[in-house]
Amino acid sequence: MRTIRLAGCFVQQSIPMFGLFKKKDPAAALKKEAARLEEEAYQLSRTDRKAADLKTAEAAALWQKIEALEKK
């Protein structure tokens, strides 16, 4: 695993060697989507603050879902 910085937070990214046989992690897809939303919010924060706040709220909701999945 490697850690990358994206939109002000650190996200762990796995480097698959044999991704064909690996089980899909449902939280990984959500983390990627949340990071994308945070990056969009950061870009929007310079021009449209209201839209940036909406994207940030969407990302926060996704992070809550991720935390709930990881607790299971």
Which pair of structure tokens corresponds to residue 41? Answer: 């919010």
Average pLDDT over every residue of 16-42: 82
Whole-model pTM: value is 0.65
How confident is the model over 66-71, as a mean pLDDT? 91
Which among 3, 5, 8, 55 is positioned nearest to 33, based on CA atoms?
A: 55
**Which of 25 and 7 is assigned the larger pLDDT?**
25
Mean confidence (pLDDT) of the chain: 82
The whole-angstrom separation of Cα 15 and Cα 46 is: 33
For the chain, the structural domain boundaries read: 24-72
